Amino acid sequence: MDDLEVVARINELTEEEHRLQQAHVGTPLSGEELTRLRAVEVALDQCWDLLRQRRARRTAGGDPDAAELRSGEVVEHYRQ
């Protein structure tokens, strides 16, 4: 994926996240919806990580296409 594709995917996921959150204002999400929301959140983290990797490689004079999508397990357990 190039940068524009990653950003487009981030936008799609963000819209889905907002739809899930706003569809149930005042009422809890179903188990299935909670599972989907969590999957969307992880996918967003993965996309943001990929975009940061691509930009860092480009800035350092490297090949942004060498950046790889990391697993949800990796991106969810970064140390801040």
* Sequence ranges of the domains in the chain: 3-61
Kindly report the pTM of this predicted structure. 0.89
Parts of the chain with a pLDDT under 50: none
Radius of gyration of the chain (CA): 15
Residue with tokens 């990653």: 6
Give the model's pLDDT for residue 80.
Answer: 59
pLDDT of residue 23: 84
**Helices (H) then strands (E): counts for the chain:** 3, 0
Report the percent of the chain where pLDDT is more than 90: 82
d(CA 50, CA 53): 5
Cα separation values, 2 from 10, 16, 54, 61, 69, Å? 12, 21, 8, 16, 12
